[in-house]
Chains A and B, each alone.
Chain A
Amino acid sequence: MSLPKLGNSSSTTSADNVKAEVFSSLSIKEMEEIAKRLRRHIITMTGKAGSGHPGGSLSAVEIVTVVYCRLLRHKPSDPQWSDRDRFVLSKGHAAPLLYAALAECGYFPVDELLTLRQMDSRLQGHTDRAVTPGVEMSAGALGQGLSFTIGITLAGRLNSQDYRAYVLLGDGECDEGQIWEGAMAAAHFKVDNLTAIVDNNRQQIDGWNRDVMNLDPFNSKWLAFGWHVIEVDGHDFTQLIDAFNQAKMVKGQPTVIIAHTIKGKGVSFMENNPYFHGKAPNAEEVEIALKELE
């Protein structure tokens, strides 16, 4: 786990300092609580907005919790801090999850989450790096985040900066050809400061991946492209933390963590239900979901 380097920045506040330390020392038990809170935010936000993508947000909650609670070196009061670790959300439709995590970290007030998708809100339907503090990339059209993250890691290498960059991909997103252009290039450029995580919930809008567009053998594809591949249960904090630590040790090649997840995880009627890929819960469903997440 990395603590933020707080000493040299004039804009750093002591509140930041406290928050960063609190987060980076969270126990697994505490992270479970955070994960539940993020899930509640996702339900409340999309419910209030009346639209959005709860399914693929819920599946990646543990991944994003580990990233923000145990992994990233960052400063919520200085989102552009040059030495920060970067987390790029390539599957931009999981914006509700990212916003929930950023708000809990202190990038903006938690209350603001309820403005999701409203006119003049900083929380756009899909991520917009120009308006939301802490958002690294404007996303929404799938397949573009890996290339973008390669650019970030190449810049870090040129500047002799030791930051790392993480990019969260959807498995359905890997239908896009650009992902494989990026996979080839990341291995070619040997960007070992890049870790990709695939939220492998096995579903996309039209149904199961295997029926819509088969990705298997998925693991072998990444191996063949020259990546170090780790497979984990994407809802298991210990496995995720171990995988991220292992990725930091890998030299000379990028690492992909294929995280096996369940779409809609945590809400019984959303689990493995592609209907809730891009459909917000109605008022009654919100109530039931929040009860399940108590």
Chain B
Amino acid sequence: MRQSYGKTLVELGNENPDIVVLDADLSRSTMTQLFAGEFPNRFFDCGIAEQNMVGIAAGLAASGKIPFASTFAVFAPGRCFDQIRMSIAQPKLNVKLVTTHGGISVGEDGTSHHSIEDLSLICSLPGFTVIVPADAIETAQAVRVAATSYGPFYVRLCRPKVPLVYDQDYRFNLGKAVTMRQGKDVTIIAMGLMVSAALEAADDLMREDIDCHILNISTLKPIDKVAIISAAAETGAIVTAEEHLEHGGLGSIIAQVIARHYPVPIEFVAIKDTYAQSGESAELLQRYGLTAKDIKQAVRSVIKRKGG
């Protein structure tokens, strides 16, 4: 995903001289270094000062530039929430925050570096568009759409390599959920690296005669209500799956839509009200309940409730 982001930035830089990139001393990890190498004059390393980076990005946007500002998801919005709020969101400036190392799959760096609150924070800001791509192909597409759509964007990527769920012909459609698989018994709504886990779970569940419908909800905000409501109507049960705290993320947003428009049973695969710890990425996902196995359990229990 990160490599894909860096490469896409270079392409965009070649296409549009108004694209500028900022980083906060993490360009080797966020891969903005690829852009820095090609366009040193249009790259601003702000040092370890995220508040200032966000402010500079806002000023660049107010002067007609299209700034991409990157750091780890735990530092933006975490370290600069009010700067994002007042300098970008309130005046609706054309700043693109693309953060990497979202979630707990960051791994060994531990709790301080696990970003499990970022989506709750950023989705609370009126006017922000929030995207969580599911693989490297969708990342490239989403970054491209962010560059060409006016307004504040937040794109959240993760650290580890994730399996491709799309082929090269895929075209990301802003604000539209993508049906990854047709099914009739339950809908799994997933984002980020949980999309491939959902696909894996669905294959296994076929053997139990459970036919899963899968939506990739890569645009978390604004959410595709139509797709969610029709999935609820067609399958009568929903499981959400996200690499984020249960509070304030995908599950909360889907629950609001469903409660208002088409109440059906829902189960939530997410990090419960806790912080994680150091460990390998796969170990952490397993310990904190973010695997295909956890999705399968959630599907079985939601189907039981549906039966009632």
A residues touching B (Cβ–Cβ < 8 Å)? 82, 128-130, 136-141, 143-156, 158-159, 177-178, 181-182, 184-185, 188-189
Contact = CB atoms under 8 A, between A and B. Distances in A.
A103 to B, nearest CB: 21
B60 A151 contact: yes
B82 A151 contact: no
A140 B64 contact: no
Interface in B75-100: 82-83, 85-87, 90-92
Contact of B61 (A146, A151, A181, A182): A151
Contacts of A189: 44
Interface string B48-69: 0101111111111111110100
Contact of B63 (A130, A138, A145, A152): A152
Contacts of B46: 181, 185
Determine the main DSSP class of A at the interface with B.
Answer: helix
Contacts of B82: 141, 144
B63 A181 contact: no
Nearest to B60: A151
A181 B51 CA distance: 8
B62 A151 contact: yes
A122 B239 CA distance: 46
A32 to B, nearest CB: 33
B42 interface: yes
A136 B52 CA distance: 18
B74 interface: no
B55 A150 contact: yes
Nearest to B67: A151
A176 to B, nearest CB: 9
Q: What bracket does the count of chain B residues touching chain A fall in?
A: 20 to 34
A72 B135 CA distance: 49
Given A155-B64, A185-B47, A148 B90 contact: no
A158 B56 CA distance: 14
A226 to B, nearest CB: 14
A138 B83 contact: no
A181 B49 contact: yes
B20 A158 contact: yes
A147 B55 contact: yes
Nearest to B87: A144
A152 B59 contact: yes
A145 B63 CA distance: 14
B274 interface: no
A141 B86 contact: yes
Contacts of B57: 151
Nearest to B58: A148
B41 interface: yes
A187 to B, nearest CB: 12
Given A144-B55, A147-B55, A136 B62 contact: yes
B62 A156 contact: no
Contact of A154 (B47, B59, B92): B59
Given A129-B62, A138-B86, 13 more contacts: A130-B91, A138-B90, A147-B53, A149-B59, A150-B56, A151-B61, A152-B63, A154-B20, A155-B64, A156-B63, A158-B65, A178-B55, A181-B51
B35 to A, nearest CB: 14
Contacts of A158: 20, 41-42, 65
Contacts of B63: 151-152, 155-156, 159
B52 to A, nearest CB: 4
B81 to A, nearest CB: 11
Q: Which of A140, A148, A151 has the most CB of B within 10 A?
A: A151
18 contacts: A130-B90, A137-B87, A141-B85, A141-B86, A145-B55, A147-B53, A147-B87, A148-B87, A150-B59, A151-B57, A151-B58, A151-B62, A154-B44, A158-B42, A178-B55, A181-B49, A182-B55, A188-B47
Give the residue among A129, A139, A181 with the most B Cβ atoms within 10 A.
Answer: A181
